[in-house]
Structure 1
Amino acid sequence: MKNTTHSKKESPVHDLRSAIDFLQTLPGEFVETNVEVDPEAELSGVYRYVGAGGTCERPTRKGPAMMFNNVKGYPGVRVVTGILSTRERTGHLLNCKPEKLGFLLKDSVQNPIPPVTIERGQAVCQEVIHLASDSDFDLRTLLPAPTNTEEDAGPYFTMGMCYASDPETGESNITIHRLCVQSRDELTMWLTPGRHIDAFRQKAEAAGKPLPISISIGVDPAISIAACFEPPTTPLGYDELNVAGALRGYPVELVNGITINEKAIAHAEIVIEGELLPNVRIREDQNTNTGKAMPEFPGYTGESKDELPVIKIKAITHRKNPILQTTLGPSGEHVNLAGIPTEASILDMVERAMPGRLLNVYAHTSGGGKLLAVLQFKKSSINDEGRQRQAALLAFSAFPELKHVILVDEDVDLFDTDDVLWAMQTRFQGDIDTINIPGVRCHPLDPSQTPEFSPHLLQVGTSCKVIFDCTVPFHLKHHFERSKFKKVDVKRFLPDFK
C-alpha cells in the first residue's frame, strides 16, 4: 500500500522543542511568560482564560499555546500547555489542513511505520538521571506536576505517554492516563475499562509480577495524538507508535530504560520509569480527602477513585532544562487528542462498508472529542436513503464511547455549529428523525449516565445512544436547495480580506 503520509523533510517538527520553535514562527500560536506562577491551581487558572477552550468553564477561548518559564519552587523546569488545543494549530503541527486531519490519521493507521530502538548514549531523554534509590529522591520536588483546581485530589501528570508491553506476547501499547502524585516515589493510575495497558497489568498481576511501565512527557505532537487511538481501529497488541511513525514518514525512536525492562520515547523531555505493582491499591485522594479527582473532558471534576493501581517509581530521567507538558482535562486539547483519532476510526469503518458516502466526520468540541460526532453524508440515489443511519450505527461500533451522532447533508459545514443547528431546525422532525438505542455501554465520566439520573440506567456508564438524522429525504432534495449567491472576488473590494 502506498504511503500517503508526510516525510521528515516536509515538517520541521520532530520533538516538543522543535514544535515550540515552529509555533513561534506562526502569528498568534504561542505565548510565554516569565512571571512566577504557582503550579497549584494558578497555572491552569491562567490558561483557562488564555486559550483552553473546549468544555472549560466560561469565560474561556480558543487561544495560543503557552509556556510558563518561571514555575514557583522549580527552578530550571518550564511548563507548557495547549500545544494541540486548537484544530488549526494541530493542522500546522501535522502539516495538514484542519478539515482533513481525520483522513490523515486514517491513512496513517493503514500505512504503519514501526518504531526503532537507539543506543542510550543517543537519547536526549537520559541526559540527567535521578534514581529513586537515592536518599534525596523526591518526585514532588523534581517535577512541577500541576494541580488543575483547588479541589483536585493532588498534582497530576496529564500528558504522560504510558508505554508498557504484554507480559505474554511482548506486544506494546502507548496511551495517556491520569496519573496522580501520591508520595516521593508513587503514582496512582486510573485505567478506564477496556484499555490495553490494563489488560497487560491484569496478566502480570495474575502471575504475581509487577508490570514495567515508562511515562514519557513532552514529545512530538504526532506521538501524543497517535497514542489516543482505541479499539477496534487499533486492537489489543497494536502499537500506536506505528501511527506516529506514519504521520512523520519515519520511525519513532525508543530507548531502553535505565532501571526497568521497558522502552521510552528517546526524544522526550522527561521520562518516569516505574512498575505497576500487583495487588496494591491506593485511594486517589488520600492526601487531600476532597472526594474529587481532577477536571475531565465533559467539563466536570471527576470523583476520586477508592482503589487505584500504584506505579512504584524507579527513576526519573530528563533533558537538560526540561519542559513539562501538561493539559487541562476539559480543554480543546483533549478534544483534538481524543476526537481526531475518533474521526479517523469512523471514516475508516464507514468507508469500508459503503465507499464514497461519508464525506467527513467531526468529533465535536461540546462532547470533548468523545461523546458527539457530526457525520456529513452524501445520498447519491434513492437507494442511499437509510444508509445514513447505517453509517451512524457503524460510528458507534467504530468508537464505543460515542453517545450522540448528528447526520447532515453535503451542503452543511459540519465544523460550523451554527450550520449544523440550522440543519436540525429545518431538516429534522423529532418524532421521526430521532433514533434511540437504550442500555448501551458508553463513557463512565458522563455524569448523566447513572441510575440516580435515570432509573432506566442500571449501571454507571450505560447510556441511551441517539442518532439525530438531520438529512433531507432524497426524494425531497430539490425542495431544500440553499439560496445561491453570486460568486465574486472579494479581494477586489477588500485587498486584505482572508
Structure 2
Amino acid sequence: MPKYNSLRAAIELLKKVPGQYMETDVPVKPHAEISGIYRYVGAGGTVKRPTKQGPALMFNQVTGHEDARVLIGLLASRERVGLLLGEKPERLGFLLKEAVEHPIRPVVISNAEADCQEVKHFAAEEGFDIRKILPAPTNTPEDAGPYITMGMCYASDVETGESDITIHRLCLQSEDTISMYFVPGARHLGAFREKAEALGRPLPISISIGVDPAIEIAACFEPPTTPIGFNELSVAGAIRNSAVRLTNCLTIEEKCIANAEYVIEGELIPDSYIREDINTNTGKAMPEFPGYTGNANQAVPLIKVKAVTHRENPIMQTCIGPSEEHVNMAGIPTEASIIQMVERAMPGRLQNVYCCSAGGGKYMAVLQFKKRTQSDEGRQRQAALLAFSAFSELKHIFIVDEDVDPFDMNDVLFAMNTRYQGDIDTIFIPGVRCHPLDPSQKMEYNLALRDNGISCKMIFDCTVPYAQKKRFERSKFLEVDYRKWCPEL
C-alpha cells in the first residue's frame, strides 16, 4: 500500500514507473486545447475515436496562469489506479468493498498545518476573479464555460451536521459565482441543498481540487452502499489506512481537504438559479460520460464564492468527461457496491465485476459468476437483479462463467457468441428509472416512455447451463513457463 496522502506524492510515485506520467513545457491554452491534446494522448473511455489510453499529462505552461499547472488523466488507466491505490487492477472492486466495511473517519487539523491555505484570495478584495485564479479548462469549443471537473464538493446537513463529499459539474460563471449541476435525486449534497433552501438558508460548501486519488475514487460511492450520513472520506481513510485530514475554511462554517491544491469556499444561495450557458449561448454544457455533450441546463443552483485558497505553484487537476478517468472513478465504486450486495445474498458465487469503458463506468457491468451445483442455475440472474438494486443507473448486465475474463471485452463477446441465444438468454426489465444523460432514454426516441430517464434494462446471460459444462470446456493448452523462451516479456 503506497504511503502517501497528497496529489504531489502520487505524482512522484508515477514518475518512477515508465509510461505512467509525462510533462510538457509547450504553452497551452485552457480553452479546449488541453482536452483536445489529451484526447489523442490517453483519454480512452467513450471519447470519439481516435483515442487511446496513455500516461497522465502535466501542462507546465498554461496561458494566462503563469504560476499554475494543469494535470489531466491521473486516473485514466485502471493499471495506474491500481498502482496509486496499492492493489492489483482486477482486485480494485474488492479493495473498495473492504474499505467501506472498515471505514476510518477523517480528522481535523489546524489552519496553520494546512497546505491548502498557503496562498489566500478573498472575494472582498478588489480585483478578485475566480476565472483568473483558477486555470479551469473547457473540454470543447462548445462548452458553456470553464468547468471544474475534479472538484471534491463537501457540505453538511444544516440540521444534523452529517457531512458528505461528491463530485459535481461546476461551471465558472462570473468573478465570484459558480453554477452547480445536480443529477435529480442522485446525490446527498442535493438533499442537503434542498433542505437548506426549504429553510431559506444558504448551504456552506467547500470545493477541494487536486487531492489524494483515494479521495477521488471514494467520493464516487453512491447509495445504498454509502447511505445519507455516511461520509465517503472514511472510505478513503480505509484505503490508505490513515485518516483523511480536514481543516476549517476561513470564510464559511465548513471544512475542506487540508492538503488540496486549491480550495474554493462558498455558499449555495437559496432560490438562486442561472442558465448554465448564459455566457456562451451555445445550448451545450460539457462532454459527459456517455460520449455526448450534455445540454445546458436552464436553471442550475448558484454558488456565491467567498474565497479561494491554494498551495504555492498549485496544480489544477481536471479530466475529460467521457474519458477512461470517469470510467474508473464511477465504475470501481460501483463494482464494490455490486460485490458487496451479491456476496451478502449468495456468498462465493460472484467471482468479479467489471464496469466497462463502453458504459462509461455507469451503464454496463460484466458479472463473472461461478455455478457450483445444479441448484445454482438461475442464481446468476438473481445476482444481476441484485446488481441493479446496488446501482440504479446500470442499464445492461452481461453474466459470464468463471473461465471468461470479465475485463477483456473480446472474451465477453466470445461468451455471448458461443454461450448465448437471444430468445432464451435475454431478460428485459422495461420502464425502470436509469440515468438522464442517456440520449436514447428520451420520450422522442421512445414514445412508450412515461418520462425522460426511464429505460428498458437488460440482462444478457452468457453463462453455460450447469448440466452442460462439459460441452463448453475451452481448449486446454500445455502449461509452461514462457519466460524461458521469451525472457524480455
Q: Could you tell me the TM-score, scaled by structure 1's length?
A: 0.98
Structure 1 residue aligned with 2:249: 257
1:450 paired to 2:415: no
Paired residues for 1:264-413 under 5 Å: 264-413=256-405
- Measure how far apart 1:233 and its partner are: 0.1
AA partner of residue 26 (structure 1): V
1:131 paired to 2:118: no
Structure 2 residue aligned with 1:84: 75
Report the secondary structure of 1:472's partner residue: coil
TM superposition outliers: structure 1 runs of 4+ over 6 Å? none
Could you tell me how far apart the structure 2 residues matched to 1:493 and 1:154 are?
55
AA partner of residue 273 (structure 2): R
- Measure how far apart 1:342 and its partner are: 0.2
Q: Deviations over 1:105-164 (max 9, x none)?
A: 000000000000000000000000000011110011111110100001111000000000
1:37 paired to 2:28: yes
Q: Given that residues 12 and 22 in structure 1 are in contact (C-alpha distance below 8 angstroms), is that contact kept between their aligned partners in structure 2?
A: no
Structure 2 residue aligned with 1:160: 151
Could you tell me how far apart the structure 1 residues matched to 2:300 and 2:88 are?
40
Report the secondary structure of 1:52's partner residue: coil
Could you tell me how far apart the structure 2 residues matched to 1:305 and 1:13 are?
39
Select which of 11, 24, 28 maps to 1:20: 11
- Measure how far apart 1:12 and its partner are: 3.5
Q: Given that residues 432 and 455 in structure 2 are in contact (C-alpha distance below 8 angstroms), is that contact kept between their aligned partners in structure 1?
A: yes
Q: Given that residues 367 and 397 in structure 2 are in contact (C-alpha distance below 8 angstroms), is that contact kept between their aligned partners in structure 1?
A: yes
State percent identity of aligned pairs.
Answer: 66
Q: Given that residues 450 and 458 in structure 1 are in contact (C-alpha distance below 8 angstroms), is that contact kept between their aligned partners in structure 2?
A: no
Report the secondary structure of 1:351's partner residue: helix
Report the secondary structure of 2:71's partner residue: strand
AA partner of residue 98 (structure 1): P
Could you tell me how far apart the structure 1 residues matched to 2:448 and 2:459 are?
19
Select which of 77, 101, 111 maps to 1:110: 101
Could you tell me how far apart the structure 2 residues matched to 1:200 and 1:267 are?
25
Could you tell me how far apart the structure 2 residues matched to 1:319 and 1:313 are?
18
- Measure how far apart 1:489 and its partner are: 1.5
Q: Deviations over 1:162-210 (max 9, x none)?
A: 0000001000000000100100000000010221001000110011010
Could you tell me how far apart the structure 2 residues matched to 1:495 and 1:114 are?
46
- Measure how far apart 1:455 and its partner are: 1.0
Select which of 202, 206, 213 maps to 1:210: 202
- Measure how far apart 1:80 and its partner are: 0.1
AA partner of residue 457 (structure 1): L
Could you tell me how far apart the structure 1 residues matched to 2:132 and 2:110 are?
29
Q: Given that residues 3 and 240 in structure 2 are in contact (C-alpha distance below 8 angstroms), is that contact kept between their aligned partners in structure 1?
A: no
Could you tell me how far apart the structure 2 residues matched to 1:462 and 1:238 are?
28
Structure 1 residue aligned with 2:227: 235
Structure 1 residues without counterparts, runs of 5 or longer: 1-9
1:460 paired to 2:452: yes
Select which of 61, 64, 72 maps to 1:73: 64
Q: Given that residues 212 and 276 in structure 1 are in contact (C-alpha distance below 8 angstroms), is that contact kept between their aligned partners in structure 2?
A: yes
Structure 2 residue aligned with 1:174: 165
Report the secondary structure of 1:333's partner residue: helix
Q: Given that residues 234 and 240 in structure 1 are in contact (C-alpha distance below 8 angstroms), is that contact kept between their aligned partners in structure 2?
A: yes
- Measure how far apart 1:492 and its partner are: 1.3
Q: Given that residues 13 and 22 in structure 1 are in contact (C-alpha distance below 8 angstroms), is that contact kept between their aligned partners in structure 2?
A: no
AA partner of residue 336 (structure 1): N
Could you tell me how far apart the structure 2 residues matched to 1:29 and 1:122 are?
31
- Which segment is superposed worse, 10-19 or 80-89? 10-19
Select which of 475, 478, 481 maps to 1:486: 478
AA partner of residue 25 (structure 2): N
AA partner of residue 442 (structure 2): T
What root-mean-square deviation, in Å, do the aligned CA atoms of Structure 1 and Structure 2 show? 0.5
AA partner of residue 305 (structure 1): N
Structure 2 residues without counterparts, runs of 5 or longer: none
- Measure how far apart 1:13 and its partner are: 2.6
Report the secondary structure of 2:42's partner residue: helix
Q: Could you tell me the TM-score, scaled by structure 2's length?
A: 0.99
AA partner of residue 21 (structure 2): F
- Measure how far apart 1:443 and its partner are: 0.3
AA partner of residue 35 (structure 2): S
Could you tell me how far apart the structure 2 residues matched to 1:155 and 1:143 are?
9
Report the secondary structure of 2:276's partner residue: coil
